[in-house]
Structure 1
């Protein structure tokens, strides 16, 4: 399992291709992801390549690579002849994503309890410390990313690469959904859910780990206000230059 404290953008965008190997692409990717998860760039916001290039002083090729990475992660959509837009997950989309997570992640938690290593547990506990530090500092978007990565790390610990990749995609989509519909501060880490899950994994208790995962995902879902939101109009330059 990769180190739990690694850069969130690298984890989410790392599967999107070689573009994120460029520090410039990575910086733009991270800036846009942060703005999206902080709701400074609301759903359906159009992200023209030329405008972004002017804002960040980057070529269209660099900007396009960052946009493609974000689209791969499910936080943008790219429409032919229209360009890139911040994704607009509907209430139905949110329920579909969490239904899929319940089906997959409960089983993966049970598998992880049977094979997880001491090094994995240590990395997860460090990750929990990073999560709480972000919450205590009021860094909501970072807390959302770290909470999602916690689930990715558990999936990776099973050695099931295909399923872990699927979890990573679901978590990316969930991060945007949580950013959009989150209604309470503890929706991600309420009642020490992650600590309880790690404890069950460390003790090698598959049934308990699966039950903890299921309860945690249902609690996140319960912490979301799944009502449709009206579209907002923003000035792209003002939002991104002030970040």
Structure 2
């Protein structure tokens, strides 16, 4: 299984690259700013500006940006620098189509494999997700929702497909941050609860059906149209995160 380093307890571990110390702090701060709609897709991530906000060197910032690029959260262009990734509407559609193909089968596999400890861990995760939603912490709610799906994939025992799901979830988190239209897009609906019922019963067919419907609802809750966004500075966006 890919190594996961958890630096910030407010965000679940979505990254696959080992990243500790100040670089991990920069990574988590930028990710949270993206999910909280502070840093918008397409925005330039100046190494000097980011470094000034966090009080770190360009080398540290560069390591964080490379990890973000590996997860699809940022894009790095030669001679231009790093930018928050901006998935097109077509990419967004393809990401959710891929999730609809893969995740129902992983949910079905997981349904027959979960131990009482696994089920309790998933229940606790849902409780954290609901708490984030009720506290209107949108960034944490998006991240927790993604981590819930990753955990189901891990519990399915399908390591190769779990890797695909990790990549798709990273892209989905950015897509939801850009295109969501209502709170339940972050899985506030009863879908996760319905999945838990299927898992508790060991009902693979039901888990497959619930997950398929759930992914379709997630997709339908997105407004896949290009929109203008208000310009914001790096200092303003990350300053809110670091405060």
TM-score of the two chains, using structure 1 as the length reference = 0.92
Partner residue in 1 for 2:91: 93
* 2:41 aligned counterpart, secondary structure: coil
- Over 3 Å counting, the alpha-carbon distance change for 1:231 and 1:135 in structure 2 is closer
Alpha-carbon distance in 2 for matches of 1:104, 1:59: 40
Whether contact under 8 Å (2:44, 2:82) holds in the other structure is yes
CA drift of 1:160 comes to 1.3
Partner residue in 1 for 2:109: 111
Alpha-carbon distance in 2 for matches of 1:56, 1:212: 42
* 1:191 aligned counterpart, secondary structure: coil
Question: In proportion to residue count, which structure has more helix?
Answer: 1
Whether contact under 8 Å (2:11, 2:144) holds in the other structure is no
Gaps of 5+ in 2: none
Alpha-carbon distance in 2 for matches of 1:209, 1:56: 43
Partner residue in 2 for 1:31: 29
CA drift of 1:23 comes to 2.2
Gaps of 5+ in 1: none
Alpha-carbon distance in 2 for matches of 1:32, 1:58: 14
Partner residue in 1 for 2:172: 174
Whether contact under 8 Å (1:9, 1:29) holds in the other structure is no
Aligned 1:1-243 pairs, distance under 5 A: 7=9, 9=11, 11-13=13-15, 15-16=16-17, 18=18, 20=19, 22-230=20-228, 232-243=230-241
Alpha-carbon distance in 1 for matches of 2:65, 2:30: 9
CA drift of 1:231 comes to 5.2
Whether contact under 8 Å (2:12, 2:144) holds in the other structure is no
Misfit runs of 4+, over 3 Å: 6-10
* 2:76 aligned counterpart, secondary structure: strand
Whether contact under 8 Å (1:41, 1:86) holds in the other structure is yes
Q: Deviations over 1:61-89 (max 9, x none)?
A: 11111111111111100111111100011
The RMSD of aligned alpha carbons is 1.7
Alpha-carbon distance in 2 for matches of 1:242, 1:202: 41
Whether contact under 8 Å (1:53, 1:60) holds in the other structure is yes
CA drift of 1:137 comes to 0.5
Q: Deviations over 1:23-69 (max 9, x none)?
A: 21111111101111111111111111122112211011111111111
TM-score of the two chains, using structure 2 as the length reference = 0.92
Alpha-carbon distance in 2 for matches of 1:238, 1:189: 29
CA drift of 1:138 comes to 0.6
Alpha-carbon distance in 1 for matches of 2:68, 2:173: 12
